[in-house]
């Protein structure tokens, strides 16, 4: 069997005016679509696309996972379809690559994609300038393929499927040699770097990897891949393209003081990583920096640039950029430097959560720099590593993968997952598997059921989104080199900006169709962006099928049991405080996604809560998410001894001035006070410039009588306000107690009346 080499070949096939390809490779059978479209071609391998942390696939009509593809099968995203088909190919014994796609002219997005057997088509005849080296024939015109098409619902469905191959399939013990199944993972790179630093050669390194992995089939790549990685790590640099990157960063820094750039070392003597963030990235973090993904997809030796972006979600649920890095050094200290530098550029404000791959070096750096931030492993990377570590099990026991993913994605409580996991290990006799044991020990960092108590900005705990790690998808792939990186980077930013502007326009200028007479739905339509409203609306409409039943009432809090009609086995519990209008649900959708769930809304319906309480409206999901006060008022930039100190001071003063102007213009008296204060401040600034900053600082340290007097007045005012607040709190508690007693008395009176009514009915019957 001839195996396709790992070397990337840049293949671009053009279409002539009639729409036919100049090459004799099979074309995509394109069906009519609502959008006008343009045809394009992408010759990248399966690895050439960014993964997502979403489910590997979403089955048709929400059924349990199926290992066999079929027409009509649905997926969350194009990425999920690729992942599923490649997983299927690994089990069957062939390699995959992405082929032709169909792009919408309306917004430029891909709406149809063909994923083919890597032996599809035929190699083009070499011209005069082609290499004289004889290459192995790997293209034999195989017709096996799966075409997926985007539906109006946003899901992707299989529109065409060909299963038959015209060549022999690869046996399980050699499938790891196929190109789309070869991958030098993060942990493997770390081990290779360590062994290489100790003076060990490729043969010795592979021997250790084979032993550590439990066999050559489980390593996940070949000796040639190992040699290539070791060679690239010895020569790791930006090469001739480095000057292009440096010139761009220096130019942007000179043009805009808010453009942040830092190198580990200096531009002339680069010894480590590079980080930069444009002003929009830094500003977006102030609005949407509650959850962050550090995407290291491009670290693999398949990519030509070690590019790593920091991304998040904007108010439309679109990916948003928080900065970029080039990873020229992958030691723990370099990742610590990178995270600290990024954090300094983002005002020093820690995110609530961060998602990375499970590489031990990155894990150690995250613990050091983000000790209070919830750290999640990318589930896609975990499942991909499972394919490598459990390849023997996948081949010998085909049902294992289905049950494994069901255990991860479909369990809804911690106890249910624990029981399912233990049962899985027992049925397949995997209790001694070291990799499964290590992942079980780390389950709180990647299994969805353990993560739902923390905000990650995804719309569903299990469904996820296809864009979490795909900000640069379609712009940076396996053939992108340093020379074109900056151009593609700017194209991606421009495209994302256009999509955000369009989403803003649609939110403001198109009225959503309301499906209920509920005031809450109308309120949400006016508050949320269009996409977020559609998610909320679905939850609200579903409440009609979810009755809420009281199971416990303590007076101040009531426990409700909420389940869909006919699905009593899928029960959720909502604890509701009627006085504060606060509820918590066992599904924890609000905690995880920031959008209230159907179970709490069902309780609101039966308790006559007609509008959304303010504490259930996250500003980051509203149409006004980027207006008003920022989430963080700290200065942007590094400490004062950094190159960016001037930009940081400029940015801080500008933000404070804008806020001061807005407040000062509210009325004439406030305006007069503000203007007088500005004039006084101008005199002090002039004096400081004349005498030097040291004198001014000394004056602040010693403290003036005016400042001391002002401080004493503030203390008195704070004490008075605190006393008033305490008094109001006591009165509120008294009112609550009285109201609780009244409600209890009403319930007793209701019960007595009910008894009397029953007695009257009995008397009438007799």
Query: For residue 751, what are its two tokens?
Result: 């019960």
Residues 348 and 326: beta-carbon distance below 8 Å: no
pLDDT of residue 524: 95
pLDDT at 463 over 70: no
pLDDT in tens, 282-297: 999 999 999 999 988 8
Strands 319-326 and 270-277: antiparallel
DSSP code of 309?
Answer: E
Ramachandran area for residue 141 (φ above 0: left; ψ -120 to 50: alpha; else beta): left
At 111 the three-state DSSP class reads strand
pLDDT in tens, 184-242: 776 777 777 777 666 677 778 888 888 877 777 777 777 777 777 766 554 455 666 67
pLDDT of residue 594: 94
60: nearest Cα among 45, 88, 43, 80: 80
pLDDT of residue 654: 54
pLDDT of residue 302: 60
pLDDT of residue 133: 53
Length of the chain: 766
pLDDT of residue 551: 93
pLDDT in tens, 512-553: 999 999 999 999 999 999 999 999 999 999 999 999 999 998
**In this structure, what are the phi and psi dihedrals at residue 479, rounded to the nearest 5 degrees?**
-95, -5
pLDDT in tens, 8-31: 233 333 333 333 333 333 333 333
Mean pLDDT, range 463-467, rounded to an integer: 39
pLDDT in tens, 559-573: 999 999 988 888 999
Ramachandran area for residue 239 (φ above 0: left; ψ -120 to 50: alpha; else beta): left
Find the radius of gyration of the CA atoms of the chain.
30
Higher pLDDT: 733 or 532? It is 532
At 578 the three-state DSSP class reads coil
pLDDT at 582 over 90: yes
Mean pLDDT, range 277-286, rounded to an integer: 94
CA distance 213 to 218: 6
Q: Mean pLDDT over all residues of the chain?
A: 77
Count how many Cα atoms sit within 13 Å of the Cα of residue 99 in the half-sphere of its side chain: 24
pLDDT of residue 55: 40
Query: For residue 144, what are its two tokens?
Result: 């096996």
pLDDT in tens, 328-369: 877 888 899 999 999 999 989 999 999 998 888 899 999 999
Beta strands of 616-662 (E only): which ranges?
Answer: none
5 falls in which pLDDT band (50, 70, 90)? very low
CA distance 518 to 748: 32
698 falls in which pLDDT band (50, 70, 90)? very low
pLDDT of residue 622: 95
User: How far, in whole angstroms, is CA 698 from its chain's centroid?
Assistant: 48
Mean pLDDT, range 673-694, rounded to an integer: 72
pLDDT of residue 12: 30
Query: For residue 366, what are its two tokens?
Result: 């995250």
212: nearest Cα among 229, 232, 228, 190: 190
Mean pLDDT, range 106-114, rounded to an integer: 85
CA distance 181 to 460: 29
Residues 325 and 308: beta-carbon distance below 8 Å: yes
pLDDT at 640 over 50: no
Q: Which residues 6+ apart lie within 8 Å of 337 measured at CB?
A: 264, 272, 273
What is the number of H-type helices and E-type strands within the chain? 22, 17
* Highest mean pLDDT (candidates 393-397, 649-653, 743-747): 393-397
């Amino acid at each position: 069997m001839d195996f396709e080499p790992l070397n990337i070949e840049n293949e671009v096939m053009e279409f002539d005016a009639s729409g036919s390809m100049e090459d004799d490779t099979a074309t995509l059978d394109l069906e009519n679509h609502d959008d006008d479209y343009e045809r394009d071609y992408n010759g990248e391998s399966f690895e050439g696309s960014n993964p997502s942390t979403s489910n590997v696939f979403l089955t048709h009509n929400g059924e349990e996972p199926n290992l066999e593809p079929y027409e009509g099968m649905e997926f969350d995203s194009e990425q999920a379809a690729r992942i599923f088909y490649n997983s299927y190919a690994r089990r069957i014994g062939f390699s995959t690559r992405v082929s032709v796609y169909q792009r919408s002219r309306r917004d430029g997005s891909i709406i149809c994609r063909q994923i083919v057997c890597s032996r599809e088509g035929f190699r083009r005849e070499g011209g005069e300038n082609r290499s004289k080296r004889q290459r192995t024939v790997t293209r034999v015109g195989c017709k096996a393929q799966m075409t997926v098409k985007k539906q109006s619902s946003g899901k992707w469905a299989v529109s065409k499927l060909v299963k038959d191959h015209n060549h022999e399939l690869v046996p399980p013990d050699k499938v790891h040699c196929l190109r789309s199944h070869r991958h030098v993972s993060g942990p493997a790179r770390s081990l290779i770097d360590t062994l290489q630093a100790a003076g060990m050669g490729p043969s010795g390194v592979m021997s250790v990897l084979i032993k550590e992995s439990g066999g050559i089939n489980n390593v996940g790549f070949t000796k040639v891949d190992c040699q290539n990685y070791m060679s690239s790590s010895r020569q790791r640099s930006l090469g001739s393209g480095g000057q292009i990157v440096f010139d761009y960063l220096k130019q942007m820094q000179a043009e805009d003081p808010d453009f942040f750039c830092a190198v580990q070392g200096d531009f002339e003597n680069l010894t480590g990583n590079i980080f930069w963030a444009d002003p929009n990235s830094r500003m977006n973090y102030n609005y949407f920096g509650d959850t962050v993904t550090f995407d290291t997809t491009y670290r693999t030796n398949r990519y030509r640039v070690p590019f790593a972006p920091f991304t998040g979600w904007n108010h439309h649920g679109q990916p948003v950029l928080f900065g970029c890095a080039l990873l020229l050094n992958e030691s723990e200290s370099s990742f610590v430097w990178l995270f600290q530098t990024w954090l300094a550029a983002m005002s020093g404000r820690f995110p609530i959560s961060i998602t990375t791959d499970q590489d031990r070096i990155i894990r150690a750096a995250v613990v050091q720099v983000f000790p209070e931030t919830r750290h999640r492993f990318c589930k896609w990377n975990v499942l991909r590593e499972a394919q490598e570590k459990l390849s023997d099990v996948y081949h010998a026991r085909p049902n294992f993968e289905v049950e494994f993913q069901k255990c991860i994605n479909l369990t809804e409580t911690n106890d249910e997952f624990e029981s399912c996991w233990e049962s899985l290990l027992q049925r397949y006799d995997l209790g001694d598997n070291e990799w499964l044991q290590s992942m079980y020990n780390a389950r709180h960092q990647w299994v969805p059921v353990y993560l739902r108590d923390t905000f990650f900005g995804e719309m569903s705990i299990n469904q996820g989104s296809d864009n979490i790690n795909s900000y640069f998808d379609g712009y940076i792939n396996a053939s992108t080199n340093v020379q074109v990186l900056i151009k593609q980077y700017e194209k991606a930013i421009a495209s994302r900006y256009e999509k955000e502007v369009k989403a803003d326009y649609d939110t403001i200028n198109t009225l959503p169709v309301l499906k209920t007479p509920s005031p809450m739905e109308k309120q949400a339509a006016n508050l949320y962006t269009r996409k977020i409203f559609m998610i909320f609306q679905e939850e609200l409409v579903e409440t009609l099928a979810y009755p809420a039943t009281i199971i416990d009432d303590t007076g101040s809090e009531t426990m409700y049991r909420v389940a869909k009609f006919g699905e009593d086995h899928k029960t959720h519990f909502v604890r509701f405080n009627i006085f504060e209008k606060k509820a918590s649900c066992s599904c924890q959708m609000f905690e995880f996604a920031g959008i209230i769930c159907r179970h709490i809304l069902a309780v609101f319906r039966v308790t006559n809560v007609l509008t959304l309480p303010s504490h259930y409206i996250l500003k980051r999901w509203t149409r006004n998410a980027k207006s008003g006060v920022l989430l963080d008022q700290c200065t942007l930039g590094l400490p004062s001894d950094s190159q960016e100190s001037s930009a940081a001071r400029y940015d801080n003063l500008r933000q404070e001035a804008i806020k001061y102007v807005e407040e000062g213009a509210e009325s004439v008296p406030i305006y007069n006070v503000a203007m007088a204060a500005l004039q006084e401040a101008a005199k002090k600034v002039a004096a400081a410039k004349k005498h030097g900053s040291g004198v001014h600082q000394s004056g602040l340290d010693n403290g003036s009588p005016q400042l001391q007097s002002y401080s004493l007045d503030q203390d008195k005012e704070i004490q008075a306000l605190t006393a008033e607040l305490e008094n109001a709190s006591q009165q509120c508690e008294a009112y609550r107690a009285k109201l609780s007693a009244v409600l209890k008395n009403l319930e007793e009176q209701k019960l007595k009346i009910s008894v009397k009514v029953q007695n009257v009915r009995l008397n009438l019957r007799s």
